[in-house]
Amino acid sequence: MTSQYLALHQRSILAQGSLEQIVIQVKNIDQNIEPIVVDAETCKRINIDWQGDAQTVLDKLSPKDGGTSNKRGRPKLGVKAKEVTLLPRHWEWLATQRGGASATLRRLVEEARNNAKPEDIICMQQQQLDGFMLVIFGDEPGFEEASRALYRNSKVSFETAIASWPDELKTFVLGKFNTLSALHNGEV
């Protein structure tokens, strides 16, 4: 399934769909607009270099974001090297595992992600939605109240706080809130 994205400009949804669809829609509206793009599922911001025509913008997207790669050789996997601090017994155990320390740590992280507790999922999704609201509405009336209501799972307070927000974005954040509320109540 292709990820869905939102292109946001001046507190409204300018375009939605795949990244390719968004780029084409935005460039057809105005070549000079540089909207904020977020993943509709995770609310994560996607950085796009909007300079150039639609094809130029698409060519600059990384393959993981739906762009194309004309480079030869092995594709970059997005692996990042960072420091991990463990006790000697942990390193000893990792050294005995199939694939070595890095492969074992990746497997353990994936397993933990796939078996996340409902509370962990709720916390992650609350943070994602709160981050989205901060980027779009951080200076607007109702943001702080909406943020507090989000973490309290108070639908009445949340709806009251976002009442003055633009309808299409209000619908989006309320949909996310309702999904979280269902998780809170064990309905999902």
At residue 113, the pLDDT reads 86
At residue 69, the pLDDT reads 45
**pLDDT exceeding 90 applies to what percent of the chain?**
70
Torsion angle (degrees, nearest 10) of CA 164, 4, 45, 176: 40
CB 180, CB 188: distance < 8 Å: no
**pLDDT exceeding 70 applies to what percent of the chain?**
90
Spatial distance between the Cα atoms of 97 and 163, rounded to a whole number of angstroms: 54
Least confident of 8-12, 28-32, 79-83, 145-149: 79-83
DSSP conformation letters of 27-60: HHH-TT---EEEETTT--EE-----S-HHHHHHH
SS3 sequence of 93-120: HHHCCCCHHHHHHHHHHHHHHHCCCHHH
Tell me the per-residue pLDDT of 64-114, one tens digit each, with 9 for 90 and over: 555 544 455 555 566 788 888 989 999 999 889 998 888 899 999 999 888
Q: What contacts 105, CB < 8 A, 6 or more positions away?
A: 84, 94
Predicted model pTM: 0.76
**In 3-state terms, what secondary structure has residue 3?**
coil
Average pLDDT, rounded, for the chain: 89
**In 3-state terms, what secondary structure has residue 13?**
strand
CB 81, CB 35: distance < 8 Å: no
